With several copies, the nearest count.
Chain A
C-alpha cells in the first residue's frame, strides 16, 4: 500500500543518485514540482527517461542532475527548442549528456513491455530511419507465423517513475483523467513510484475518462497542489502558456538560467 508523504520526503526516499527516473505526463499533468524538488535535493547522474522532455527536463539537465536522456521528442511545445538540452548535447554544459533517442511509438511500447513484464515489445516502427543506426535498443524480430521481420524494443523499467495526478484517496489510490498519456504504464513498469496529486480526498468518485492506479501498485503519494504548473491539471487549472514562452529566454542563456536556478529554487550552480 502506498505511503502518504511530503514531497521532500518522497524525493529523498525514492530518488537516488544514478537512478533511472521516468517522469511522465504528455503535455498535461507534468510533475514540475517533483522535478524542482529533485533539483533542490541535488540528485546527480540520473538517467532521465521521458517521451517528451520539455521545460522540466531542460531545468533538470541545466541543473546538472542528468548524465543520460532517453526520449523521443525534446522541445518546448508551441515555443521552440530546449536550450539547456541543446547546450548539454552540443557543448557538454554543465555536464556531458548521453542521449538515446526513439520514436513515440517505440517509447510507448517500451513502457508497455515494462508494465507487462516482457523483455521486448513488437511494433511496426523505425523502419528505414537513421534512428536504428544510433541505438542498440532497436532490433528486429521475425514473426514465427509469417516470417515477416518487425521491430523489437526492450522494456523501460525505471528505478522510479514520477507522475502527477488530480487526486488520491487516503489509502494512496490515485485517480487522473483527461490526457493520461503513458503514466499508468510508467508506474507499472517502475520498481518504485512517486505520485504527486492536486488533493487527497476521502473518497474517489468515478469520473469520465478516469484512470485509477490502486494504492498497492504505488509506492508513495504526496499532496502538492499546483504540482503540475506551468502545465495544466484538467479540472484544476489551465496551462500557463506565458510561462512556457518566458522559459525560452531563461533557458537560452547560461547566466540567466543560473540566476533562475538560484532565485527560484535556491540552488547554486554546481557543475
Chain B
C-alpha cells in the first residue's frame, strides 16, 4: 500500500482514502447490504461518523447489526448479538433483499468491466478449466440485481479492471444502457465504483464507467493506466476531498485493534 502525500495535518494510505470515500457514499441511506472486507469497513465507518442510524444488513441474517469493531466474517457473533433481529438465511434473501427493501448493496470484485459487470467466479474463459478458481457468487448476483443501487469497492489493477469480465457473476449494466431493464432487474445497478485511485460512475447515456473523481495526489494518468480499457474521464472531474482527521481516527480505531490490516 502506498502512502498518499501528506496534507498539513494528516497522512493516509490509498486504502484509507478508498474506505473513507466509500463510507461517504452512504449519506442519506437507510439500509445497506454489506459484504465482508472493504464494504464492511466502509459501512461501519459511516455508522461511526456521518450516518449513525445506518442499518447494516449481513447475508448471514443479521438486521441492524451494531458491532463494536469490524467483524472478521459475515457470520461473526458480534453481528448477531448487536442486531435488531436475526433471521434465517432464506428470509434475509426472500423477505429483505429480493423485494428491493435495501437501498444500497456494497460489493467487492475480483474482476469488473467497462459496464460494471462483476466476476467472482473464475479467471479464464474456459469455465471447465479455469486459470484461477475464485470463491463464486455468494449473495452478490441478487444484491446486484435487487438493491436500490450498488456501490463497488475494489483496488485498481489491470488484472481487476478488464474490458469484459471472464464470467458474469453479478450484472452491472450488461452490454450497456437498457440491459438491466430488458433483464427485468429491479435495482438501478452500480452507481459508483470506488477504488484506491478515484471514483468511477456510469455515464448517463451509455452506462460505461467513467472517471468522475480523483483521490488527492493521484493523476489522471495513474488512474487510467491500471484500467484494462480506454477509461473515459468526466468533463466534470473533481478531486475527492481528503479524509478528515475524524474519519481517519475512527477508521484506524476500527481496523487496528483487530490487527486486520
Contact = CB atoms under 8 A, between A and B. Distances in A.
Direct contact of A and B (CB under 8 A): yes
Interface of A: 1, 26-28, 51-52, 71-75, 77-78, 81-82, 85-86, 89-90, 101-105, 108-109, 111-112, 115-118, 123-131, 134, 148-149, 173, 178-182, 184-185, 188, 209, 211-214, 216-217, 232, 234, 238-239, 241
A26 B139 CA distance: 13
In this complex, the member of B53, B94, B179, B186 whose beta carbon has the largest number of chain A beta carbons within 10 angstroms is: B94
B28 interface: no
Given A90-B130, A117-B100, A123-B94, A184 B88 contact: yes
A123 B1 CA distance: 41
A242 to B, nearest CB: 11
Nearest to A30: B75
Contacts of A124: 98, 142, 145-146, 184, 186
B135 A81 contact: yes
Interface string B163-174: 000011111001
B contact patch SS = loop
Contacts of B90: 108-109, 111-112, 182, 185
Given A105-B93, A239-B77, A127 B101 contact: no
Given A89-B130, A103-B142, A179-B79, 18 more contacts: A71-B136, A74-B135, A108-B89, A115-B99, A127-B145, A127-B171, A130-B121, A130-B167, A130-B169, A185-B90, A188-B95, A188-B101, A209-B80, A212-B84, A214-B63, A234-B81, A239-B73, A239-B77
A105 B60 contact: no
A238 B76 CA distance: 9
Contact of A105 (B72, B80, B81, B142): B142
B181 to A, nearest CB: 11
A179 B80 contact: yes
A211 B86 CA distance: 9
B250 interface: no
Contacts of A125: 98, 141-142, 145
22 contacts: A72-B136, A73-B135, A74-B135, A77-B74, A86-B133, A103-B137, A103-B138, A104-B93, A104-B138, A108-B89, A117-B146, A125-B145, A127-B183, A128-B168, A128-B171, A130-B167, A149-B184, A178-B86, A179-B79, A185-B88, A217-B101, A232-B77
Interface of B: 30-31, 36, 53, 55, 59-64, 72-77, 79-81, 84-86, 88-90, 93-95, 97-101, 121, 127, 129-130, 132-142, 145-146, 167-171, 174, 179, 183-186, 260
Contacts of B183: 127-128
Given A27-B74, A101-B137, A118-B98, A109 B93 contact: yes
Contacts of A104: 59, 89, 93, 137-139, 142
B76 A73 contact: no
A108 B59 CA distance: 11
B89 A134 contact: no
A179 B90 CA distance: 12
Contact of A27 (B73, B85, B132): B73
A73 B136 contact: yes
B142 A181 contact: no
Given A103-B140, A124-B98, A26 B89 contact: yes
A72 B63 contact: no
A66 to B, nearest CB: 15
Contacts of B94: 105, 108-109, 112, 115-116, 123
Nearest to B141: A103
A48 to B, nearest CB: 14
Nearest to A234: B77
A85 B80 CA distance: 29
B168 A129 contact: yes
B99 A117 contact: yes
A75 B140 CA distance: 14
Contacts of A89: 130, 133
A75 B85 CA distance: 26
Contacts of B121: 101, 130-131
B80 A129 contact: no
A89 B131 CA distance: 10
Contacts of B93: 104-105, 108-109, 123
Contacts of A232: 77
Nearest to B182: A128
Contacts of B101: 188, 217
